[in-house]
Amino acid sequence: MMAWFSRNSPCGRFRNETIAKPLQTMPRKKSSLKQTEFNMRKITLLFIITLLTFSCSSDDDNGTEQNTTDPIVAKWQFGKVVYLYNDGTENTIQPDMCDLQSNYNFIANNTIELTSYIEDNNGGCEFEITNFEYFNWTKIENGKYRITVKNVGEAEEVDIENVTFEGNEMIWKDPEGGFDGTEFYPVHNYFTKIN
């Protein structure tokens, strides 16, 4: 019988002075060791896959929900502009041939691409060169968007737009979009979805 005490311990003196021998383990078979290593690799790989799945899915859910379901994500052709004067009258400006070639493309990655045409000296339209460092959109809440634009060498401009969607139309309703020299008045900009 073997006791697991040291020779100098008090228990060792009462147990036939048996000296503890180190615990001997049985040698494992090579196939058993390889199987254990293989199982550990599978567990580690499963853990990494699970970790990546959960960490990526939360980011994807947030971005996808906002962008792919947001009605602003589309290409929008310029349309009419309606000035609503404080005296109750209004003035509607229909788009010209250059406006009808121009559009905003709101992309799911929160950027905006502008294609703009202006009248040239011959009565036609020419492409207007824009020099943006960035042109972005962010949904603040339903019906409200932040539009941020920065031209090279200029200060950043931020506008908060009140937006409604009616069928294939988008309407930006700016309560103080116009100024008649004494007071501000509302302006509504209309856009038509072209894709």
| pLDDT, tens only, 12-40 | 333 343 334 444 444 444 455 555 555 55
Where are the domains positioned within the chain? 36-69, 74-193
- What pairing do the DSSP bridges indicate for beta strands 74-84 and 90-93? antiparallel
Q: Which CATH class is domain 74-193?
A: mainly beta
In this prediction, residue 5 carries a pLDDT of 34
Count of C-beta atoms within a 10 Å radius of residue 93: 12
Q: How would you class 191 by CB atoms within 10 Å of its CB: exposed for 0-12, middle for 13-18, buried for 19 or more?
A: buried
Could you report the per-residue pLDDT of 107-119, keeping only the tens digit for each? 999 999 999 999 9
* Integer CA distances (angstroms), 100 to 13, 78, 104, 142, 160, in order: 104, 6, 11, 27, 24
Closest CA relative to residue 110, chosen from 82, 138, 130: 138
Cα separation, 45 vs 31, in Å, equals 21
Alpha-carbon distance of 20 to 5, in angstroms, equals 5
Answering whether pTM is above 0.95, one says: no
